[in-house]
Amino acid sequence: MKTYDNIVAHLGDKASFYLDHVSQKVTKDELRLPDKNIVDNVFVNSNRSPQVLRSLAQLYGHGNLRDTGYLSILPVDQGIEHSASFSFFKNPDYFDPENIVKLAIEAGCNGVASTFGVLGLCSRKYAHKVPFIVKINHNELLSYPNTYDQNLFGKVMEAWNMGAVAIGATIYFGSQESNRQIREIAEAFAEAHSLGMATILWCYTRNDAFKTDKEDYHTAADLTGQANHLGVTIQADIIKQKLPTTNFGFKNLKFGKFDDAMYETLTTEHPIDLCRLQVANCYMGKIGLINSGGGSQGESDMSDAVRTAVINKRAGGAGLILGRKAFQRPFKDGVELLHAVQGVYLEERITIA
């Protein structure tokens, strides 16, 4: 089956809803869209050094999506964030760090993101074969009770020493610890840039007050959009964010700054428009937005991943960072799923809404 027909089949009876939508709030003409010259056109006049530009060029220039402006990244830090046994029992091969790197290579990903331990153990064998992104902080799951805090697990120089082209980090925006995390990661990103590495920020919201009896606003477009805006402020070169599933976080939780007119002016209820608000908060797309693939749900994973990719691409995003849907299944099936996602970004008939 041809790629476009395959995409339509995965979208099912919602195909027209996703593929024919035209965004009329923040329009595509207002965005900086991904293309093969993204590094030159966005960063060449910035404060990023030539070494950082080279690292970004390596990341954008690798794998099946090379030189398109889009990214397909394999992230596997769930052994820390969700516990290793829970993450890998469906496919114990991934207790072995080398298999994580092999999956990224076989699937033609732009890069592989994982822990100091995983990438450090494989660095001499693979750092020159696939771009490494070292995740420098984590919420480890063994502390009891769990405090859901992101803590540094190593030094930026260690990532540089193992040949990484980028570091990644998470900030739990909205949490009691967020101010400390912002300071820590801003300093880490400045050091990474001084060493010539690019920076990727997981811009997650986290606060019990963000979830009510009626709605979970952790994935509200306005809250996640503001998290993105804070992320680009500390000079993340790429933003990772969950796909928005709702809106009106500031309004319905009654905090922060909001106006009914801002919602009417900037977005609608359509998933592509909600995601576009996230893109707009990334300096109108000049800093690439990659959405996460989410957890594995079983048989629906392929369709869910394709749908997420369609929403991200048509919103003006820069790709997907997808892990659990790929590594929590047999190696061959994981490769096939990642290829299906990449196919969305390579399909010229899937255009910006």
Cite the active site residues: 240
d(CA 246, CA 252): 11
54 lies in a domain? yes
Average pLDDT, the chain: 96
271 lies in a domain? yes
Residue 132 has what pLDDT?
Answer: 98
- What CATH number corresponds to the domain at position 104? 3.20.20.70
d(CA 309, CA 291): 8
Residue 1 has what pLDDT?
Answer: 56
Q: Residue range 125-143: average pLDDT?
A: 96
Residue 299 has what pLDDT?
Answer: 87
Q: Which domain holds residue 50?
A: 3-346
352 lies in a domain? no
123 lies in a domain? yes
pLDDT tens-digit readout, 244-281: 999 999 999 999 999 999 999 999 999 999 999 999 99
Residue 295 has what pLDDT?
Answer: 87
Global pTM value:
0.98
| Cα→Cα distances 163→119, 122, 159, 289, Å | 10, 11, 7, 24
pLDDT tens-digit readout, 155-190: 999 999 999 999 999 999 999 999 999 999 999 999
Q: Residue range 42-57: average pLDDT?
A: 97
pLDDT tens-digit readout, 219-252: 999 999 999 999 999 999 999 999 999 999 999 9
pLDDT tens-digit readout, 50-95: 999 999 999 999 999 999 999 999 999 998 989 999 999 999 999 9
351 lies in a domain? no
Residue 28 has what pLDDT?
Answer: 97
pLDDT tens-digit readout, 311-351: 999 999 999 999 999 999 999 999 999 999 999 999 999 99
pLDDT tens-digit readout, 11-24: 999 999 999 999 99
104 lies in a domain? yes
221 lies in a domain? yes
Termini Cα distance of the chain: 25
Distance of CA 137 to the CA centre of its chain: 16
Number of domains in the chain: 1
| 3 state SS for 17-84 | HHHCCCCCCCCHHHCCCCCCCHHHHHHCCCCCCHHHHHHHHHHHCCCCCCCCCCEEEEEECHHHHHHH
Q: Centre a 10 Å sphere on the Cβ of residue 124 and count the other Cβ atoms it contains.
A: 10
353 lies in a domain? no
